[in-house]
Amino acid sequence: MTDNTMARVWDNVPSPFCGIASDDLKIEVAGPSVRVLENGDAVTTPGFERSVTDTAPRVGGKPASMTEAVQRAAAILKDARLAVFSGFGTDVNDTRAALSLIDKARGVFDQARAGGGVRNLLVLADSGWIATTLAEVKNRVEVLLIFGSDVEGAFPRFFERFVWNQETLFGQDPAKREVIYLGRAPSGNAAVSPDGRCPQVIECAPEHLPELAAALSALVRGASLQAETVGGVPVEVLQGVVDRLKRSSYSVVTWVAGQLDFPHADLTVQQVCQAVTALNKETRAAVLPLGGQDGDRTASQVCAWLTGYPTRVSFARGFPEYDPYLNDTARLLSEGEADALVWVSSLSAVPPPAAGLPTVVVGRSGMQFDTEPEVYIPVGVPGIDHAGHMYRCDNVVAMPLYPLRDCGLTSAAAVLAAIEQSL
């Protein structure tokens, strides 16, 4: 990243927001305002350009000093039987500081959008998978199968950066790649090849996605199905997809788990993964679980190395206990098990749910509340206000984040450490 100091224009800026860690952004900073000049998209640009509002903490809706706010937050934690920490929306250091505090406060660690990650992680811990990463996709993919998801809706630059790239390491012409949507149609034209070929789209109603995944897995393993259609899709069409994957020297199957929002969707993800594992008996194929916007992967990764478990860990008994059902914030709130909510979110400005509980927000400046929390400490954004690190969707590449401006906002990590000190 280079600094064009006079104009305050930064090149090659990594995005902590988009989940695929685009790091070719050109960004202009003037005072507190940030503008994406080049390579922004519908996810990244609002992430960078959200304006700074508050710079001072509030307690009970009234301006307060940092010390007062930190002490009030610590008092809430001291009074709480079980505090649940969610949000996360954070970089590595913010998450580290949060987990240190949660350990001491015997709280629960969850993420606002843990749902998608949990679907994937349940599969990982039950049967595993054969996975790939974005540069392998960019250089190798021959057939890209997208299961039940609208990739461009969540990852607007995915095709531009990794499918319709100019050249590949192994002499493949990327423009000849084949894209197949199975179960859901795309929302736009990103999957149309540079020479105008449209992707193959095989749609079904969302409630049929589990059957479709099961049929796919069965057909890859060579089973013959009695049914003529599955979820309204002719079996011969599905067989055609399977044959294409089997002929491919390197196919990639992807999905956006956050979009597979139905009960037991992990079992559907598992069928898709097992289809890919079976393909590898003869040829090469791999899965690419897409996700990771606004630090979603980052917080889970940090939790995994610091506690031994991914997101949804309780320290209530003095040691980490992983349970993605019991430690779900929504459940803890609705069952009345939690009696304090701490919302930590330095990347995303999504506010906490109205919990009717003493609530502490260590949140990005610019966060708007329907219900004012008891404590709000506005913080800066990793990758805008201070340095940091984020993970991209494939859990492999951690990107450095750089400070681009200084408008006096402290980091969530510093605030969380201060709260821990006051406990």
Partner 1 sequence: MLIKLTGGTVYDPANGIDGQVRNLFIRDGRIVHSLNGATPDHEYDLRGKVVMAGAIDMHTHIGGGKVTIARNLLPEDHRADPEPRRGLMRAGCGHAAPSTLTTGYRYAEMGYTAGFEPAVLPINARQAHMEMADVPLLDVGGYVMLGSDDFFLRLLSSGSDQQLINDYVAWTIRSAKAIGIKVVNPGGISAFKFNQRMLDLDEKHVYYGVTPRQILKSLARAVHELGVPHPLHVHGCNLGVPGNVETTLNTISGIEGLPMHLTHIQFHSYGVEGDRKFSSGAARVAEAINANKNITIDVGQILFGQTVTASGDSMRQHANAGHAHPDKWVCMDIECDAGCGVVPFKYRDKNFVNALQWCIGLETFLLIEDPWRVFLTTDHPNGAPFTTYPHLIRLLMDKSFRNDMLSTVNPEAAALSTLGTLDREYSLYEIAIMTRAGAARLLGLTDRGHLGAGAAADITVYTDQADKEKMFTRPDYVFKDGELVVRNGEVVKVVWGNLHTVQPEFDGGIEARLRDYFDRYHTMKLDNFVINDWEIEGDGRSKILVHPCHQGARS
Residues that bind partner 1 (CB under 8 A): 1-2, 12, 14, 20-21, 23-24, 92-93, 96, 100, 103-104, 121, 124-136, 138-140, 161-162, 166-170, 249-250, 280, 283-284, 286, 301, 304-310, 315, 317-322, 387, 389, 391, 395-400
Residue with smaller CB distance to partner 1, 164 or 376: 164
Instruction: Judge whether 310 and 67 are in contact, CB under 8 Å.
Output: no
Residue with smaller CB distance to partner 1, 149 or 301: 301
Instruction: Find the shortest distance in angstroms from Cβ 398 to partner 1.
Output: 4
| Residue reference for tokens 């590449």 | 397
Query: Exposed e or buried b for every residue in 306-326, given b needs 16+ CB within 10 A?
Result: bbebbbbbbbbeeebbbebee
Burial tier of 207 (Cβ tally within 10 Å: 0-12, 13-18, 19+): exposed
Residue with smaller CB distance to partner 1, 225 or 304: 304
Residue with smaller CB distance to partner 1, 92 or 341: 92
Residue with smaller CB distance to partner 1, 59 or 242: 242
Instruction: Find the shortest distance in angstroms from Cβ 156 to partner 1.
Output: 16
Instruction: Find the shortest distance in angstroms from Cβ 283 to partner 1.
Output: 6
Instruction: Find the shortest distance in angstroms from Cβ 280 to partner 1.
Output: 7
Instruction: Find the shortest distance in angstroms from Cβ 227 to partner 1.
Output: 29
Instruction: Judge whether 218 and 109 are in contact, CB under 8 Å.
Output: no
Residue with smaller CB distance to partner 1, 169 or 198: 169
H-helix or E-strand spanning residue 333: helix 329-334
DSSP conformational letter for 386: B
Residue with smaller CB distance to partner 1, 20 or 357: 20
Instruction: Find the shortest distance in angstroms from Cβ 53 to partner 1.
Output: 28
Instruction: Find the shortest distance in angstroms from Cβ 76 to partner 1.
Output: 20
Residue with smaller CB distance to partner 1, 130 or 350: 130
| Residue reference for tokens 């920490």 | 85
| Residue reference for tokens 């049967």 | 127
Instruction: Find the shortest distance in angstroms from Cβ 226 to partner 1.
Output: 28
Name the token pair of 312: 């949804």
Name every residue whose Cβ is closer than 8 Å to that of residue 336 and which is 6 or more positions away in sequence.
Answer: none
Q: Which residue from 140, 141, 147 is spatially nearest to 120, judged by alpha carbons?
A: 147
DSSP string, 50-72: PPP---S-EETTEE--HHHHHHH
DSSP conformational letter for 363: E
**Which residues is 286 bridged to in the sheet?**
252
Instruction: Judge whether 316 and 108 are in contact, CB under 8 Å.
Output: yes
